[in-house]
């Protein structure tokens, strides 16, 4: 019987959270945990930040966004990712963001945008180059990272998380198996009930405008930053076609958009495949943010 995996299980499937691998702190990296970057209603939003101990900078930065099907997960999933990036000369942050059903879209994106604006507002303190900021995300986090790369103040998705004078745009995006077009049904009924209805307030048929508003593909246009997509060829949760479709539209608009298909991999992968993917991610950021 064909196994159907709901998006609710994304946390358990996120190999790029480095679950089960040693989380070691490079002595040349500084890690700050639990930094408040915004307030949403009565909720303090916090991030963890890793930066190179040596060097005057300014360093390029990367915002690392956890997965969890928009209903769970937390920034701790990304600890090893930010440590790895800091060890390669980046200031890397991983923010928490509000989740459904308590908060519907675009609350999740508003919080990620607030993290980017906070990073720019504190560029001097953390030796960040505010003109060289990238984003990477996994699954639901990749969906949000893609939106960071293609939306700006004119799209009405900024929220009120502070530092409104700063831009929330990023200059490079890496998407690990993220959904890009929510107007095309690819999910199971269970995933619809557990993830998408809480996030968007109804089904695709009931709220088509909300599904389009939450679709990165809807914002793809000329002027988008470079993208890299990594996707398992056998992903049963988010089909690989989701990455291919957005990459194709970006390329038609003149944007560099590469796709790496991990043959036989599902929704996340481990071991040597994971290590290779992380290296490909880092090389991409080196090429796009260290010019």
Domain architecture of the chain: domains with CATH? 7-289 (3.40.50.1820)
Q: Residues 6 or more apart from 206 whose CB is under 8 A from it?
A: none
What pLDDT does 66 receive? Answer: 98
Mean per-residue pLDDT, 136-152: 97
- Establish whether 139 is a catalytic residue: yes
CA distance 195 to 63: 23
Q: What percent of the chain has a predicted confidence (pLDDT) above 90?
A: 87
Mean per-residue pLDDT, 7-25: 39
CA distance 288 to 148: 16
Pick 27 or 10 by higher pLDDT: 27
What pLDDT does 131 receive? Answer: 98
pLDDT tens for each residue of 170-193: 999 999 999 999 999 999 999 999
What pLDDT does 267 receive? Answer: 96
What pLDDT does 25 receive? Answer: 60
What pLDDT does 42 receive? Answer: 82
Mean per-residue pLDDT, 237-263: 97
Specify the 3-state DSSP secondary structure of 61.
strand
What pLDDT does 43 receive? Answer: 87
- Establish whether 277 is a catalytic residue: no
Q: Are 82 and 64 in contact (CB under 8 A)?
A: yes
User: For the whole model, what pTM was predicted?
Assistant: 0.92
What pLDDT does 291 receive? Answer: 79
The secondary structure of residue 184, as a DSSP letter, is S
Pick 93 or 14 by higher pLDDT: 93
Given the residues 17, 103, 111, 139, select the one marked as catalytic.
Answer: 139
pLDDT tens for each residue of 187-228: 999 999 999 999 999 999 999 999 999 999 999 999 999 999
CA distance 46 to 38: 7
Confidence of residue 15 (pLDDT cuts 50, 70, 90): very low
pLDDT tens for each residue of 21-57: 334 467 699 999 999 999 987 889 999 999 999 999 9
Residue 7 CB neighbour total at 10 angstroms: 26
- Establish whether 267 is a catalytic residue: yes
Within 13 Å and on the Cβ side, how many CA atoms surround 238?
33
pLDDT tens for each residue of 59-69: 999 999 999 99
Pick 101 or 26 by higher pLDDT: 101
Given the residues 48, 103, 111, 235, select the one marked as catalytic.
Answer: 235
CA dihedral 120, 25, 28, 282 (to 10 degrees): -60
Q: Are 180 and 146 in contact (CB under 8 A)?
A: yes
Q: What percent of the chain has a predicted confidence (pLDDT) above 70?
A: 91
Given the residues 66, 143, 231, 267, select the one marked as catalytic.
Answer: 267
């Amino acid at each position: 019987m064909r196994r159907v995996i709901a998006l609710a299980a994304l946390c358990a499937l996120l190999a790029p959270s480095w679950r089960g691998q040693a989380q070691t702190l490079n002595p040349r990296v500084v890690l700050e945990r639990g930094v408040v970057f915004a307030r949403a209603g009565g909720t303090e939003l916090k991030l963890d930040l890793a930066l190179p101990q040596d060097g005057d900078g300014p360093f390029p930065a990367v915002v690392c966004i956890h997965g969890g099907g928009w209903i769970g997960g937390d920034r701790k999933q990304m600890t090893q990712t930010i440590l790895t990036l800091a060890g390669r000369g980046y200031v890397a942050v991983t923010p928490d963001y509000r989740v459904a059903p308590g908060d519907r879209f675009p609350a999740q994106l508003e919080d990620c945008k607030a993290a980017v604006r906070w990073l720019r507002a504190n560029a001097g303190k953390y030796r960040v180059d505010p003109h060289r900021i990238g984003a990477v995300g996994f699954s639901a986090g990749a969906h949000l990272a893609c939106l960071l790369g293609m939306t700006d103040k004119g799209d009405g998705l900024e929220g009120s998380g502070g530092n409104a004078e700063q831009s929330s745009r990023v200059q490079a995006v890496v998407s690990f198996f993220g959904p890009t077009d929510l107007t095309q049904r690819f999910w199971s009924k269970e995933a619809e009930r557990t993830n998408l209805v809480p996030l968007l307030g109804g089904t695709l048929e009931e709220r088509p405008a909300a599904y389009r508003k939450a679709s990165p593909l809807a914002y793809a246009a000329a002027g988008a930053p470079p993208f890299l997509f990594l996707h398992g060829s056998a992903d049963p949760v988010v089909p690989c076609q989701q990455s291919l479709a957005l990459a194709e539209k970006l390329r038609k608009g003149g944007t560099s958009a590469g796709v790496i298909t991990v043959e036989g991999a599902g929704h996340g992968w481990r071991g040597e495949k994971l290590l290779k993917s992380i290296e490909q991610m880092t090389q991409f950021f080196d090429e796009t943010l260290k010019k």
